[in-house]
Amino acid sequence: MKLPYKNIYDVLKLNRYVTIIVTVTALLSSVFSGVMVFNMYQKAMDSAFAVNTDGSVIPLKLVSQKENLQVEALSHLQLFHEYFYGIDDSNYESNLEKALWLGNSTVDNVYRQKKADGVYNRILQYSLVQKVLNVESQVDLRAEPYRFKTITVFEINRGSVIDRYEMVSTGELITVDRNYPKNTHGLLITDYFESSLKKVKDED
């Protein structure tokens, strides 16, 4: 028994439905794939990385760099003040070079003023040791540039006499490209100013 021929219009209608379903499925699949790729890209942009001693990049846990900004800002300021003010006749050149990588021309201006005033010459001439004892910073992270205020306590060892000083410095932090190992936090000190310096009396 011969099967009756299907109506040509029914066949074309079925083919049309199949084509529409395949097209819609492919479109939805493309949109979903695009959203997934975009989300992965966003996470990668916000990821933190560490650089090994051989220069290789080690991915850390995918966390927002914003969460670590306060820690990095405080660490950056700690490092700068220790380099800039923790100097003696054996390390002052290397420490000052490291400190200058962490700030812009305003830091360089303070350095040049100190040099013109003979600060570093006196350290060399009298073999003075300037040691940082404590660094406390406050940073406003609500908007960039991030304003900061730092209180640095340091002592100057003159051999038989040790004097202690407290200095207040202010400025701003801006984000820059990380530079390993010269500027690992990717922050730069701008508008740097030594607002006050006073001698701390020894407590009985």
pTM above 0.75, yes or no: no
Instruction: Give the residues of the chain that fall short of pLDDT 70.
Output: 1-12, 41-67, 202-204
79-130: pLDDT as tens digits: 999 999 999 999 999 999 999 999 999 999 999 999 999 999 999 999 999 9
CB 189 within 8 A of CB 170: no
What proportion of the chain, given as a percentage, has pLDDT over 70? 79
Positive or negative torsion for Cα 192, 113, 115, 105: positive
What is the model's pLDDT at position 167?
97
